[in-house]
Structure 1
Amino acid sequence: MSAISGQADPIEDYLAALTAALHGPARIKARMIEELGGGLADTVAAYTGEGMAYQHAAHRAVAEFGTLDELVPSCQRELTIAQARHTARAVALTAPFLAACWYLAWSTDHDQPWRLPHLAQLLAVHLAGVAGVAAVLAAATLAVTGTLARRLPTPHQLPRAVAWTGTTASVAMAVATLALVTASVLATNWPLLAFAGALAAASHAVMAAPARACRHCAARLPAM
């Protein structure tokens, strides 16, 4: 594609505006923009091959593809589902670490004189349970948006549910980290609790960014 010197390229302007309007996984978004750009280039080439001037052909191709208001909702929906899958995968992959936190917290001695470490362990276990439920929901999300998506429509509110499920799990593991670190300071068998706290912190780090990105994408979906 080439524009007349000194004139704006309608195709480049269109793709730039579309890129700015969409939010989602960078790689999938780049591929989407590239595919749309390829379609526009093919349309322009067809028109210029018939003798139409480039500027006229570019404007006509853009008009045929539709306005941003028409195109953005469907593209954003696709990107949001992709981000929801990424978030669900991050939550599901942390499930073994959450189970490890549960085991390590309860494998420490319970007859110690300090009450705070025991309470911290209980808090960490309950919070890990919350994150475990989130992992089960995440696995279900991967199934619904994967092979089952060919047979069943993806629920409109699913990305928002995944976003807040991931957020809940992330917050739970952050609090669990604090509880386990506090317990490790006062517990006699502190290395196990410290290690459990490190696992909880790692789980939080894995979940936090995808959950935040999923909330950002879901917020851009039109209300039904």
Structure 2
Amino acid sequence: MANAGVIDDYVTRLGRALKGPSGPKRDMVAEARDSLIDTAEALEDGGLDRAEAERIAVEEFGEIGEIAPAYQELLAVSAGRRLAALLFVSVPLTCLMWSMIWKFFPGDLAGYASRPGWFGPVARAVDLIQVAVGVAGGLALFALGRGLRRIRRPRLVVRSLATLVWVMLPTIGVLSLALMYGSYNPAGFPGYGTAAALVSDALSIVQLYGAVRCMSVTRRGLAAA
């Protein structure tokens, strides 16, 4: 096997130039290294010494600044798919969870009568927003999967999805706080409501992390090093 000194230096620099999900990134760098080693070994079998074979293999593979953008776009698509799948599953589930809670609390007619007039419209607005975000996640998941060949700029899809999360989370947060305030804490609600809020907060943190990651991996000039 060819001495991998020059190749290791090259793939190390390639790995540092790329940002994205660790698994896909690791696979890409490993695939690039394997390709370089195969090329170097073929050149070595043709009579070149190892150092020269590696140098030529790296030279033929391309400069980091030339090949990194293509790799970075693939990583951006991978991050976008993860966020899209998360939204497609978690947002509708959150909507269903809270819908069931508001259905059972309060449990008497007097409790419903005590709710302010804006409670119903705000609750429906929260449901509609969450359903819309879930649908957007499903559409983005399709676009970044089977529909990828028809999209000229997948980076914009990924960034748009991340922006949607940044807009959705504070909006839903404010409206949800209003609903909890307007419910007047019916009997039994604090326990169930707190549990649901913890689940919602955990999912929101994961969604926010995914959105931040998508913005990071689609930043212009990222892979120009």
Normalising to structure 1: TM-score of the pair?
A: 0.81
Gaps of 5+ in 2: 107-111
State the 1:128 CA deviation.
4.6
- Structure 2 CA distance for partners of 1:125 and 1:45, relative to 1, 3 Å: same
For residues 137 and 25 of structure 1, the distance between their equivalents in structure 2, rounded to whole angstroms, comes to: 22
For residues 2 and 89 of structure 1, the distance between their equivalents in structure 2, rounded to whole angstroms, comes to: 42
Match of 2:203, SS state, is helix
Superposition CA RMSD, Å: 2.7
State the 1:38 CA deviation.
0.5
- Give per-residue Cα distances to partners, 1:130-172, cap 9 Å, x unaligned: 232111111001111222335x235441111111123333334
Identity %: 23
Partner of residue 166, structure 1:
165
- Give per-residue Cα distances to partners, 1:98-127, cap 9 Å, x unaligned: 232234235433323x75xx8678656534
Partner of residue 6, structure 1:
none
State the 1:51 CA deviation.
2.1
Partner of residue 84, structure 1:
80
Partner of residue 207, structure 1:
207
Q: Is the 8 A contact 2:80 2:214 kept in 1?
A: yes
For residues 177 and 201 of structure 1, the distance between their equivalents in structure 2, rounded to whole angstroms, comes to: 11
- Structure 2 CA distance for partners of 1:158 and 1:26, relative to 1, 3 Å: same
Partner of residue 145, structure 2:
146
For residues 198 and 123 of structure 1, the distance between their equivalents in structure 2, rounded to whole angstroms, comes to: 21
- Give per-residue Cα distances to partners, 1:37-72, cap 9 Å, x unaligned: 000000110111122122211111111111111101
Partner of residue 97, structure 1:
94
Partner of residue 137, structure 1:
136
Normalising to structure 2: TM-score of the pair?
A: 0.80
For residues 121 and 177 of structure 1, the distance between their equivalents in structure 2, rounded to whole angstroms, comes to: 12
Gaps of 5+ in 1: 4-8
Task: Indicate the larger mover: 165-174 or 88-97.
Answer: 165-174
Partner of residue 49, structure 1:
45
1:23 lines up with 2:42 in the alignment: no
Task: Indicate the larger mover: 123-132 or 162-171.
Answer: 123-132
Match of 1:51, SS state, is coil
By relative contact order (CA 8 Å, sep 6+), the higher-ranking structure is 2
State the 1:180 CA deviation.
5.5
- Structure 2 CA distance for partners of 1:107 and 1:154, relative to 1, 3 Å: farther
Q: Is the 8 A contact 2:126 2:176 kept in 1?
A: no
Partner of residue 3, structure 2:
2
Q: Is the 8 A contact 1:98 1:200 kept in 2?
A: no
**How many residue pairs align between the two structures?**
212
Match of 1:111, SS state, is helix
